[in-house]
Structure 1
Amino acid sequence: MYDFLKESIQLSNFFILFFLLLGITTYKYGLKKWRLFWVVFTLLFLLSSTHFLPAYLISKYEAKTPICHPKHLNLKETYYLHVLGAGFSLDPNLPANSQLELTTLGRLTEAIRIANQIPNYKIITSAYSKYGLESQASVAKRAAILLGIPSQNIEMLTTPSKTAEEVQAFVSKFGTNKKVIVVSDALHLPRALMLYKKAGITAVGAPTNFQIKKGPNYYRGLTFPSYHSISLMNKYLREQLKYWKDSW
C-alpha cells in the first residue's frame, strides 16, 4: 500500500486530478469565475510539459557534482567506491549483470571505470531484497566479478532499503575515517553527498546516468508538450522533495 501511494505522487497524476476538478467546477459554476485558474493551469502545464524548463533545471542540478577523474585523487589512499542501489530482478536465467536494472548497472559500470584507474580500492555494493531473497548487493557483487573485479575487492551492505540507510550502514561497518567515493545518478548525488556529510564523511561524488546529455543533436529550444518532459520535471521535483526531507 505504501509503495502504491508513493508511486502515485506523480506530476502527471496531479495534472489529471487538477484538470478533472477544474472541469467539474467550471461546468457547475461557469467559466467566468474560474478563468484565472484555467490560465494558471495552462501555464503550469506548458512549463512542465515542454522540454526547455525541465531540461534546464535538471541540467543545472546535475552539474552540481563534477565528473570523478581519478587523476585528481590521492592515489596513495584506499578509496571505498559505494555503489548505491537502484533496483534489480532476480531472474536465475540471466547473468548477474542482466539482473540489475539499467540504472544500477550504470552506477556499477562507473565504479569499475574508476577502480580500473586507481591502485587501491574497495567497491561497496548495497541494498536489500524486499522479498527476503538474494540481496541487490549480492547480485551487484556477482556482476562486478563477472566484469573483472576481484572478489576480495568487493564488500556488501545487504540490509539498506533507501539512501539514508545505505549511508548509515556504511558508517556502521566501516566508520567515518575512510576515503569514500559515492557512485550514483547525477540527479541523485547532491542528496547522497549531503547525507554522507551529515554522517561525518566528506565524500567525493561520481555522477552517472545523466538525464540530460548535450551532444551534437541536443535541442535547446521549445517543443510540443510531451510525457517525457513531464517525466523529467517529475523526477526533478521528487528529488527536491526528498532532499528537503532528508536534510531535516
Structure 2
Amino acid sequence: MPYNLKKRLSKDEPLIGAWLQSSSATIAEAMATCGFDWMAVDMEHGIADVEQASLAFAVCERHGVSPLVRLPHADPYLARRLLDAGAEGLLIPVAEEASAVSEFLSHCLYPPEGRRGVGLVRANQWGETFEDYSRNFKPVIVPMIETKKGVEAAGDIAAIPGVDGLFLGPYDLSANLGAPGDFDKPEFVAAVAAVREACAANNKAPGIHQVEPNRGLLDERIKEGFRFLAYGTDLVAVRHAFQTLKSKP
C-alpha cells in the first residue's frame, strides 16, 4: 500500500485512529474495516511483540489503514525492527528533550540522512521494492507530550525536521501535573493549549487520545483543532460494547 499518512498529516484534515492493545490479528482486522485512517499497535500498555505487530501491519495494509506503533520507550533498535516489519510510523512516549528526539529520529532514517540499518526485510518485500523504499520512505514520527517538562520543550521538539506532530497523552500529563484524570484543572488546560500552539507555530499536526468511546467528545477535540486523534482502544471498545448490550433488556 502507498505510504501516505505523512503527507496527509501536513494537511488540515482530522485523521482518526485507535490503539490496538491486544495481540489479536482478528481484532485488528475487525477494527481495520471500520474506516480508521490509522491504527497503532500499543507496545507501551499492550501485550503484542514484534511478530504479532507485523501481523497487525499486514491486516492494516490489506484494508488501506496506515499501521503505526506506540513504542514502550524511545528504543532506537526496537524502532528499527518495527520499521523493518512494516510500520509506517512511530509514536515516542514521554518526549521531553529535542536533542533526544533528534537522536532517536536519526535511527529511523537511512544514510546519508540517518543511520538506520539497511536490510532486505518485510517493509521492502525482502528486496523486491528495496530501491524505491530505501529512497522514498520517510516514517511518520510523533513524539508524545506527557509531562510538564515535555510541554516546556514542545516548541523545540515540534521544530525538528522529520517530526510530523505532537501527541498529548491526557492521563499521563494530568498525572504528572498532580491530578490524574482531571482534565479541567487550569494547569492541564494551559498545557494543552501550549502544545497546540507549538504545533501551529511549526505547521505540525496536534494530536490527542480521546480514551472514552464518546463521539461527542471526539467531535469536541476536532473542534479544538486536533488533527491526529486516537479514538479509544480495541479492548476498551469491546468492554463498552458488551456493557451496552448487557444493560439493554
TM-score range normalised by the length of the shorter chain: under 0.3
> Which has the larger share of strand?
2
Which TM-score applies when normalising by structure 2? Answer: 0.28
User: RCO (CA 8 Å, sep 6+): is it higher in 1 or 2?
Assistant: 1
Whose Rg is larger? 1
